[in-house]
Amino acid sequence: MKYIIGITTVNRYPKRNYLKTTLKSLYLSGVFDRSDVRVVVSDSGSQNGLLHVCDYTKEYYMFWDMLEILYSKEKISANANRAKLLKHCVHTGAEFVIYMQDDVVVRPDFLTHVNSFITKYPEAIMWAFYASYVEVLHCAERGEDKWIYPHEKYYGSVCHALRAQHAWGYACELKRADRREESCGGDILLARWLKKCFPTRKIYASCPCYVQHIGEDSILSESHGFRKNQSFDKYFGESLKIIEN
């Protein structure tokens, strides 16, 4: 198996949840029709978190058996949940681990584009498929398909891919931070870890992004809503309305 997609989820109730939108987006993009990928969802064990995941079984019966669900009996931190998910993904034997948040939609033929990007730029230490920076738009307008994402600017790990061995190292870093009860987010920890361990290796962001962040409860919403650097209209158009209906 070449790829495994790992999604961390948290119950935002009484605020809006997006997991079913993300899963349906993956379904419509053809991910569940492929034999070279698996999808794992890891719940943080938040209040009613178990129901938060299980409520989708009836709605998405057509591909529910293709999902693997990791439950948490007790509430765990976001960093601990991501570490648990990444380690599980590595143990599956996949070559690449694609981490994804539970409040995104992906472009059509998502995995085809991911595979082409990774194959074209194998020298990267990480491939990011969402980067909330206007530079992404500028690169796309010039016909460039990648932006070199500076370690010090890395923020908002909405969707990225790592080789399995590097995903394991990152998971260990997340676990150490959780034991220290460090409040630093997983994206900042990832940037620091990559810079410390691989200072000369590059992060490549796809231009335009292959993923659109839709969560309203994030600072990322403020940037992508105004900058429109994700080329959302070009690649998704009215598809978000279709997905959510």
Instruction: Report the mean per-residue pLDDT for the chain.
Output: 84
Confirm if 113 and 131 have CB atoms less than 8 A apart: no
3-state SS class at 142: coil
Q: What is the pTM of this model?
A: 0.89
pLDDT for the residue numbered 245: 54
pLDDT tens string 135-190: 888 888 889 999 999 998 888 889 999 999 999 999 999 999 888 887 788 899 99
Which class would CATH give 3-231?
A: alpha beta
- Pairwise pLDDT comparison (50 vs 123), residue with the higher score: 123
Distance CA 237, CA 231 (A): 9
- The closest of 24, 21, 70, 25 to 49, measured between CA atoms, is 70
Q: How many angstroms separate the CA atoms of 230 and 182, rounded?
A: 31
Per-residue model confidence as pLDDT tens digits over 98-110: 999 998 889 889 9
94/183 Cα distance (integer angstroms): 30
pLDDT at 73 over 70: yes
Tell which residue, 26, 55, 50, has the closest CA to residue 38. Answer: 26
Q: How far apart are CA 190 and CA 127, in angstroms?
A: 13
Neighbours of 203 (CB within 10 A): 24
Supply the angle between the helices 78-91 and 186-197 in degrees, to the nearest 10: 60
